[in-house]
Amino acid sequence: MISPGRGGPVQPEPVVPPFAVRFSETVIGEFTAACEQIARSGILTLGPYTTRFEALVAGLAGTPDAVAVTSGTSPGCRQAAQQVRARR
């Protein structure tokens, strides 16, 4: 257990310890260029970049579909799952 700070509650130890991910300069450059392209497009959600991201994640997961959401608790998760089921 982690001791409370300033009278706060005792926090449990993290289940997964933090770690640093090291990216190559090539990957950093590609990531930066892609972020710039998306930012300049003005299309941050529900556009071609999201569709491509979902397809890439589905391919990596070995599933026919993937849905990008803002968080796992998003009310949109249920709606997205229903839409995926409806397409099958």
**Which structural domain, as residue segments, surrounds residue 50?**
43-87
Confirm whether 81 is domain-assigned: yes
Confidence at residue 7, expressed as pLDDT on a 0 to 100 scale: 66
pTM: 0.54
Confirm whether 4 is domain-assigned: no
8's tokens: 């706060």
Confidence at residue 6, expressed as pLDDT on a 0 to 100 scale: 65
Confirm whether 72 is domain-assigned: yes
Confidence at residue 70, expressed as pLDDT on a 0 to 100 scale: 74
C-alpha torsion 21→27→33→34, nearest 10: -70
| Structural domain total, the chain | 1
Give pLDDT tens digits for 27-79. Answer: 999 999 999 999 999 988 888 999 999 999 999 999 998 888 776 666 666 77
Give 82's pLDDT tier (boundaries 50, 70, 90). Answer: confident
Confirm whether 31 is domain-assigned: no
Vertex 82: Cα angle to 73 and 79 (nearest 5): 40
Confidence at residue 76, expressed as pLDDT on a 0 to 100 scale: 66
Confidence at residue 72, expressed as pLDDT on a 0 to 100 scale: 63
51's tokens: 């569709």
Confirm whether 16 is domain-assigned: no
Confirm whether 68 is domain-assigned: yes
Confirm whether 19 is domain-assigned: no
